[in-house]
């Protein structure tokens, strides 16, 4: 397992105002939760954590948090998993991170990404569409055996074929927790698009001419009706 180290520092004081001040100086406030221990506030460089997000599937890798005190003479390491990342709803910046301390000798459950490998026959030859229905699966294993992602070969899939959880062979030491009948990937027929014929420029749509028969409107009650022909003078 590749060791991924994140430099962190103890954080004194909590609260919105102090966290906001930290963020303006280039740090992200965070906290570590551990079973049977008191939670530990900390802070880390914004650029350091964002770099790890771009390089790894950060929520399914073990991070080694390396604490250093103010004198920079002592340090301690803590194996952790990311529990939750909070983002600014407007800017999208990371504003807080929760970590869970873990033991490297005890099995844990974690979500791992699923990646399709190869070009499906039904897509390449028959114009079908590969549908990716399950992007993450839950696995149980030792922290040192967590795969960064699970690749699924889709090369032989034809239109109508599907891959279920039970069809996936996980790496050694890894157990998949999901329902065996859950569909992960499938190839479906191409979507038929309705072709709309554009009208020819200058050509107007012909509309049937409606001929309305003029009807005589009877005089309203109490209203005199004008005679059609004048009486002949005698």
| Domain boundaries of the chain, sorted by first residue | 4-101, 108-188
Q: Mapping DSSP to helix (H, G, I), strand (E, B) and coil, where does residue 103 land?
A: coil
Q: How many residues does the chain have?
A: 234
Check whether domain 4-101 has CATH 3.40.605.10, yes or no: no
What does pTM read for this prediction? Answer: 0.68
CATH code linked to domain 108-188: 2.170.120.20
Q: Please check the confidence at residue 220 and state whether its pLDDT lies above 70.
A: no
Strands 149-153 and 183-188: unpaired
173-204 per-position pLDDT tens digit: 999 999 999 999 999 998 776 666 666 665 55
Q: 72 falls in which pLDDT band (50, 70, 90)?
A: low
């Amino acid at each position: 397992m590749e060791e991924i180290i994140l430099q962190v520092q103890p954080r004194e004081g909590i609260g919105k105002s102090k966290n906001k001040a930290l963020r303006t100086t280039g740090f992200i406030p965070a906290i570590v939760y551990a079973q049977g221990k008191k939670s530990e506030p900390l802070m880390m460089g914004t650029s350091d954590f964002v770099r790890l997000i771009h390089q790894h599937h950060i929520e399914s890798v073990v991070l080694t948090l390396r604490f250093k005190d103010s004198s920079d003479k002592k340090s301690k390491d803590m194996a952790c998993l990311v529990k939750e990342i909070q983002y600014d709803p407007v800017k999208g910046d990371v504003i807080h991170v929760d970590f869970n301390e873990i033991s490297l000798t005890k099995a844990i459950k974690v979500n791992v990404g699923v990646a399709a490998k190869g070009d499906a026959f039904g897509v390449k030859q028959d114009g079908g569409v590969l549908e990716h229905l399950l992007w993450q699966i839950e696995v149980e294993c030792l922290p040192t055996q967590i795969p960064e992602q699970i690749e699924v070969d889709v090369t032989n899939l034809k239109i109508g074929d599907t891959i279920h959880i039970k069809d996936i062979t996980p790496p050694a030491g890894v157990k998949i927790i999901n329902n065996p009948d859950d569909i992960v990937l499938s190839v479906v027929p191409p979507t038929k698009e309705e072709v709309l014929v554009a009208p020819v420029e200058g050509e107007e749509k012909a509309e049937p001419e409606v001929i309305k028969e003029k009807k005589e409107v009877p005089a309203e009650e109490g209203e005199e009706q004008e005679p059609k022909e004048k009486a002949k003078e005698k």
